[in-house]
Amino acid sequence: MTESFISKKPIPVRERLIMALDVPSIPEAQALVEELGDSVIFYKVGMELFMSGDYFGFIEWLKAQNKKVFVDLKFFDISATVGRAIKALSSKGVDLATIHGNDAIMEAAAANKGDLKVLAVTALTSLDRGDLDDLGFKCDIRDLVLSRAKRALEIGCDGIVSSGLEVAMLRKELDHRLLVITPGIRPVDNRVDDDQKRVVSVEQAFQNGADYIVVGRPIRDAENRQAMAEKIQGQVLSQFQSNS
């Protein structure tokens, strides 16, 4: 039997599913949130929505709907700029935010985060071995992810974003001290036209030790979005019930 690293953190089970609002406009995002109703509590808002209009007004709207918000803008700039950006974002009522980059960037973010939880990106789930070679990273993906996770923990970040393929390794090496958010979740077979390469199922992600999963297309593109969200919520619940 494969070793289980199921999360013991006191996170409400229905908040462990984060829906990625990867749609072109704020009105479309609002309509999707309203359509999903109580089936989703936590939402990720990224660069596509950032470029589409009133991003921060939309965040305020989400908070008014009693939703939690994950700002996925992967802040990457000189450390002072990232620090000021994180400090400004911390006043918006946001729950999670991503940063990218070196130790100085992580240090600046950690020093300015307030109640905001800062997540360091390890290696994007859209990248495979060939992509990392193209970018000049000759090390093993697992070594890269572990190195970045160790530095994030030492510097004071709250967590990381990591493929579910590496989470079990992280739990063995670092226990449960970091929050781990896992994107690239596919509750059904991965499609040929999908740009996510390093994917796992809901069950794999949580058994490997993820605290949260991020799901976008499988819900957004479903014929019945609310039913798909509830199906995934059921899959999440089953993991924690079976390990309680």
The set of catalytic residues is 74
**CA dist 111 to 30, 35, 158, Å?**
33, 38, 12
Return the bridge partners of 17, or none.
213
Note whether 240 and 6 are within 8 A (CB).
yes
DSSP-derived secondary structure letter, 194: -
What's the first-to-final CA gap in the chain, in angstroms?
17
E-strand ranges in the chain read: 17-20, 42-46, 68-75, 96-99, 117-121, 159-161, 179-182, 212-215
DSSP-derived secondary structure letter, 209: T
And the tokens for 149?
A: 């996770």
The interaxial angle of helices 103-112 and 141-155, nearest 10 deg, is 40
